[in-house]
Amino acid sequence: MSISIEEKISNLPLSPGVYQFKDSKGNHLYVGKAKRLRNRVRSYFQDSRNHDGRIRVMVSKIDDIEVIVTDSEAEALILENTLIKKYQPRYNIMYRDDKSYPYICITGDRRPRVYPTRTVVKDGSKYFGPYDHVGHMRRMLETIRKTFDLCTCAVSPKMIDKSRGAPKWHSCFDDYLKNCSGDWEEQRYISTIEKVERLLSGKTDDLVREIKEEMEIASAAMEFEEAAKLRDSMVSLQKYNQKMKMVANKDVHRDIFAIDVDEEIREACGVLFKIREGKLIGKFHRFLKNIEHTSREVMMQSFVEDYYTGQHVGAIPDEVYLSNPMEDENPLYEYLWEQRKKKVPIYVPQIGEKKHMIQMAITNAKLNLSERKLEKRKAEKDRIPQSVKDLKEYLQLSRLPRRIECFDNSNTMGTDPVASMVCFVDAQPRKSEYLRFKIKTVLGADDVASMKEIVKRRYLKVKKEKLQPPDLILIDGGKGQLNAAIEALEEIGFSDQCEVAGLAKRLEEVFLPGKMDAVMIPKTSASLKLLQRARDEAHRFAITYHRKKRSDRTLKTELTEIEGVGQKTAQKLLSSYGSVQNIKKTNKRALQELIGEKMGERVYAYFNN
């Protein structure tokens, strides 16, 4: 006998831990952490009016609850992060990882190696980064090589084979020719690695002083070659220091986190600035998705916790600054204390230099989101709907019909003949390019001749003005109208520019030039629905224009024949009285009040004399 959700909740402990919501198929819906599991889980099933629509939908799908009890909130935070990455639940904030960030690795070997990598492995190695751009990482490696004469190749110096030439990284071969660091005594090597770690952690001022002291000692001992090497190292390090942007008090190490949201693309961007010894030594950003109805406080907590419990393997800073408060900062407080063995304050600055740094991080987040928006728009523009791809196959077209121009005629017993052209691009109407035509050369109700006229007029203009030609011309009608369109295109030398098809209403058959039998596209196909939409839109647009022409003609024959009455006055009269018959019955005084004394008298006299 299965246990109900309510029974499970009532038996949950009042302990810290992680809870997992699952649906009827066992899929993870949500993973969260709590200081008191029972209270937190129960809150989801109490008054639903306190929840937004997205959470209410999630709760309705919960079929099972699983919890893992931990000893502390810090442990719960780490476990939550691990489970979210493993299961990627639908209702958790997720991260758009379209690239792997570069790191600098110092291996955990007895004789550690320093090299670039995009893969973080828990093997005892130390990783410094991430670097938001590979160029920044390469400049740091170059500084390490010039300052310490240290090989920074992914291949161990001992593996170099002279007979086979240099390895992939030419710098490693350069190091080999200069007595590569692989030949150093162990004590010197380990001491250099310690200095590299300090450089990568941003602690450069003490390094410059130490190297200067070593240079002076070597010079005093008349070891001029060694003193010259140390001088070059110091100069390299000083140049690196000068390039780093000074942003804050150098006595305190800080991490700066900021969040910004773009409602249009429904994504957020989190930015981190790493400040060490008052210098901005690196920055990092990630895009947050699945954030509908999520507060900035929740987003900030997710971003910061994910960073510190993820692949970050560097020194914890003295202080953490946020652009927005977190929903619950206690788990992070506890986690950072355990990692650093010292309290790490978390601030949301409101004024001064720290607020300025936060604003700088927000500006970077906005810039990243604007670039992301451009990427998404380009992707949407380049994305070709399946209906367009299928239509190419069904009709055996030579190219994808991404731009379709569809034509239709409209008349009433041969009067007021008009036509329309609508344009669809990637299966979507582009109304700014719709066209209307007055039939000029055809008398009476001749749809075939009218179709020939408008197709000829349209593509003469396209040819003359060098406009974008369509991929497919769609004619509303059967073989007669299709052949008329083909003749028009051949007469103006445009038949080789695009392909033509006719859509007959009766059986929704598609006719193609030179083929006796119609093409029958499956009734449920999105491709047929695309053709129908284009045809129906062209028909609607033509009918609307035809009705306007007929209305204008009625106005002209009935009212505008009166001396002094123009279109505006006629329209004003019709708007007030509804029809010409009602205007005829209206007394002179009422007409004069509406359109003026003289004009009212003229209209009254016209109908009553």
Model pLDDT for residues 118-147, shown as the tens digit of each residue:
877 777 788 877 777 777 788 788 878 877
* 391 has a pLDDT exceeding 60: yes
- List of long-range contacts for 536-539, beta carbons under 8 Å, 24+ apart: 537/406, 537/422, 537/424, 537/429, 538/406, 538/407, 538/408, 538/420, 538/421, 538/422, 538/476, 539/408, 539/410, 539/420, 539/476
Average pLDDT over residues 157-184: 45
Highest mean pLDDT among 35-39, 164-168, 279-283, 585-589: 35-39
Region(s) of the chain under CATH 1.10.150.20: 559-608
Looking at domain 559-608, its CATH architecture is: Orthogonal Bundle (1.10)
Which pLDDT band holds residue 158 (cuts at 50, 70, 90)?
A: very low
- Is the pLDDT score of 528 beyond 90? yes
**DSSP assignment, residue 91?**
T
Residue range 5-92 in CATH 3.30.70.3270: no
Segment 541-557 shows an average pLDDT of 65
Taking 60 as the threshold, does the pLDDT of residue 156 lie above it? no
At 338 the pLDDT is: 87
Residues of the chain with CATH 3.40.1440.10: 5-92
Least confident of 157-161, 345-349, 425-429, 491-495: 157-161
Between these two residues, 325 and 593, which has the higher pLDDT value?
A: 325
Which pLDDT belongs to residue 179?
43
Mean pLDDT to the nearest integer, 43-66? 82
Between 143 and 2, whose confidence is greater?
143
Please state, rounded to an integer, the average pLDDT across all residues of the chain.
82
Residue 385 has pLDDT above 80, yes or no: yes
Residue that is written with structure tokens 């040819």 in the block: 463
Q: Which helix (H) or strand (E) holds 274?
A: strand 267-276
Torsion of CA 309, 313, 315, 319, to 10 degrees: -30
List, as own/partner pairs, every contact residues 494-500 make where C-beta atoms lie below 8 angstroms and the sequence separation is at least 24, other chains included. 494/459, 494/462, 494/463, 494/469, 497/459, 497/469, 498/469, 498/470, 498/471, 498/472, 498/473, 499/395, 499/397, 499/398, 499/399, 499/401, 499/471, 499/472, 499/473, 500/472, 500/473, 500/474, 500/475
Asked whether the whole model's pTM tops 0.75, one would answer no
Residue 389: pLDDT over 60? yes
Q: Cα(247)–Cα(262) distance, rounded to whole angstroms?
A: 27
Which helix H or strand E contains 306, and what residues bound it? helix 296-309
Residue 321 has pLDDT above 80, yes or no: yes
Distance CA 340, CA 255 (A): 14
- Taking residues 282-288, report their average pLDDT: 86
Instruction: List % helix, strand, coil for the chain (3-state, nearest 5).
Output: 50, 20, 35
Which strands make up the sheet holding 28-34, listed edge to edge? 28-34, 17-22, 64-69
The rounded distance, in Å, linking the Cα atoms of 197 and 211 is 15
Most confident of 49-63, 176-190, 205-219, 512-526: 512-526
- Report strand pairing: 472-476 vs 499-504: parallel
**CATH 3.30.420.340 domain locations along the chain:** 388-550
Minimum mean pLDDT among 76-85, 159-168, 299-308, 494-503: which range? Answer: 159-168
pLDDT of 169 > 60? The answer is no
The rounded distance, in Å, linking the Cα atoms of 167 and 156 is 10
Q: Under CATH, which number does the domain 388-550 receive?
A: 3.30.420.340
The predicted pLDDT at position 425 comes to 92
For residue 237, pLDDT over 90 is answered with: no
What was the pLDDT predicted at 248?
Answer: 55
What confidence category does residue 29 fall into, taking pLDDT thresholds of 50, 70 and 90? very high
| Predicted confidence band of residue 411 (pLDDT cuts 50, 70, 90) | low
Residue 469 clears pLDDT 60, i.e. is over it: yes
The tokens describing 467, both together, are 């406009």
Residue 177 is predicted with a pLDDT of 40
pLDDT of residue 180: 55
pLDDT of residue 459: 94
State mean pLDDT over 256-266.
92
Q: How far apart are CA 502 and CA 514, in angstroms?
A: 12
- Across the range 217-227, mean pLDDT stands at 77
Closest to 259 measured CA to CA, from 377, 359, 375: 359
- When mean pLDDT is compared over 124-133, 232-241, 318-327, 440-449, the highest value belongs to 318-327
- pLDDT for 48 equals 62
Range with the poorest average pLDDT among 78-92, 370-384, 480-494: 370-384
Phi, psi at 47, each rounded to 5°: -40, 105
Query: Regarding predicted confidence, which is higher, 91 or 416?
Result: 91
Please list the residues that pair with 511 across neighbouring strands. Answer: 502
Q: Does domain 254-379 have CATH number 3.30.420.10?
A: yes
